[in-house]
Every structure is written in C-alpha cells, then in structure tokens.
Amino acid sequence: MSIRYQKDARNVVTVTLDRADKHNAFDDGVIAELQSAFEQARDDKTVRALVLAAEGKSFSAGADLGWMQRMASYSLAQNRADADALANMLHTLNTLPFPTLARVQGAAFGGAVGLVSCCDLAIAGPRASFCLSEVKIGLIPATISPYVVAAMGERAARRYFLTAERFDASTALALGLVSVVEAEDKLDTCLNDLISQLLNNSPAALSAAKQLVFDVANRPVTQSLIDDTSARIAAIRVSEQGQEGLQAFLQKRSPRWQTAD
C-alpha cells in the first residue's frame, strides 16, 4: 500500500501518502488507493474532518516517472481512461461533505498542487514549495485546473501555468493556495488548532456551508439565487442541528455536537 488511512477518537481521518523514497509521487495505483480512501471517508457518516498528509521531505513530487513512461506509449483511449481516474479522484476529494485540510511540509509539484487545491484549508511549512511544471514537458495541468484556478485565481494561474516557475510557501499564502504558513515544528499544533475550531461547529452546517460556496461562486445575484439562499437558511433554521445550535446559544450552553462521540 502507498497510503495509510487512520481515524482517531475525534472521528478525524488522516490519509497519508507513504512513498517517501519516491517523494510521494503518484501513479495509477496511488490514484486508485486515494480514490478508495476518499470514498471510505465519504461513506462513513461518523467522519468529522479529513487531513491529507505525507511522509518524508516532500508532500508529493507529482506524477511518478515510471507512470509517465507507461503513459507515453498509451493510446488516446487509454490516456483518456487514465485521466478520467485522476479527475474522478480529485472530484471526490473536492466534494467530500466535511472539512478537508492539507498538511504540506515540502515540495508539491504538478498534480500535488491539485490535491492541495481540492482541500478546504492548507497548512504549509516554510520548506513547502509549489510548481505547475507540466508545460516544461509538453503537457498541461488539465485535470487539476478547475481546482487550482478556483484556489489561486485566474490571473495567477495564467502566470504559473505558463512559466512553470517554482514558488514558495509565502507566495502560495499570498495567492490563497494555502491558508497558513507555520514553522515546521508547529505544523501539527497549527493543524490541530484548526481541527478543534472546525469540530466546535455543526457537522450539518459545515456540510451545507461548503456546498453553499460551490453553488454561489461566480454566479450573478439574480432573483433565482436570492430565492435559493433564502430557502437554504430557512431550511437549516428548522433542522435538528439548526434548532440545537440556536437553543444552545440562547441557553448559554455548548451544543450537543461538541460533546458527541
């Protein structure tokens, strides 16, 4: 196995890339394992959050060299099937119904930038660096592009897709690709602080808020959108967790989800 799947007492899942000897580069096998892990987390109704992490010096070097050599001899149909598997895995990660966090301690190249972009938050160490290097070898960052453009913006994507230049954690922070840059020895503390903050919040509201971002982003404010958002807040106010949250606030007590198993 190239990844590890662990769920802790808080019902937080950590999916760890575990190919440190290959800088956590991924191939079709790793993509299949990640797909399976993300589906397992998605289908487990007790999961509250997911962390994507990696062993070793690198977060991920992107595509594995051996995989790239195999792809070079693939037919168009084989290449399409291969790309579809990567695209489906990224979509599954992007749409998980609970918060997702990337812990980036080193280099994140190519498709690894896509993994980071699919997570709701990303915490990076000072050694973290990023590169969308595909054009250097005659390719394009196609399957990851919807998530990378959403994370760092169209203007920045036009620069880094075209130049294939490497950029550091502080630049990634300025672009919005990562949420926090923290010292290496404080990465886990920072990560756990963010998880604790997330676990204070209603699981149902977190899922609905995440879907809300997907549904309203880049849409014009039309009457249809106004009606939709009004309907959403009305529905969640009368929901079980909406009622519990309101009552807990009014009664000055903690809501039940903060102490639930």
DSSP code string of 172-191: HHHHTS-SEE--GGGHHHHH
Whether the per-residue pLDDT at 229 is higher than 50: the answer is yes
Phi, psi of 54 (to 5 degrees): -150, 150
Q: List pLDDT tens digits, range 184-196.
A: 999 999 999 999 9
Range of the domain at 8: 3-198
Residues in the chain, overall count: 261
Cα separation, 83 vs 78, in Å, equals: 9
Cα separation, 241 vs 222, in Å, equals: 29
Put the strands of the sheet holding 121-124 in their side by side order: 3-7, 12-17, 49-54, 100-104, 121-124, 180-181
Count Cβ neighbours within 10 Å for each residue of 182-215 and write b for 16 or more, e otherwise: beeeebeebbeebbeebbebbbbbbebebebeee
153 with 210, same domain? Answer: no
Q: Which CATH number is 112's domain given?
A: 3.90.226.10
Q: Which CATH number is 235's domain given?
A: 1.10.12
Q: What is the pLDDT of residue 65?
A: 77
Give the model's confidence band at 261: pLDDT under 50 very low, under 70 low, under 90 confident, else very high: very low
DSSP code string of 63-106: B-HHHHHHHHT--HHHHHHHHHHHHHHHHHHHT-SS-EEEEE-S
Q: List pLDDT tens digits, range 102-143.
A: 999 999 999 999 999 999 999 999 999 999 999 998 999 999
| Residue pair 119/96 in contact by the 8 Å Cβ criterion | no
The whole-number average pLDDT for the span 230-242 is 93
Place of tokens 């950590």: 14
Could you list the beta-strand ranges (E) of the chain.
Answer: 3-7, 12-17, 49-54, 100-104, 107-109, 121-124, 129-131, 166-168, 180-181
| Residue pair 168/128 in contact by the 8 Å Cβ criterion | yes
Cα separation, 18 vs 25, in Å, equals: 10
Q: What is the pLDDT of residue 259?
A: 63
Domain boundary among 180, 198, 216: 198
Q: What is the pLDDT of residue 258?
A: 87
**Integer angstrom CA distances of residue 76 from 68, 80, 81, 144, 183:** 14, 6, 9, 19, 44
Find residue 50's DSSP bridge partners.
13, 100
How many structural domains comprise the chain? 2
184 with 226, same domain? Answer: no
Domain boundary among 198, 213, 228: 198
DSSP type of residue 59: S
One-letter amino acid identity for 135?
A: V
108 with 225, same domain? Answer: no
Whether the per-residue pLDDT at 88 is higher than 60: the answer is yes
Cα separation, 116 vs 100, in Å, equals: 10
250 with 189, same domain? Answer: no
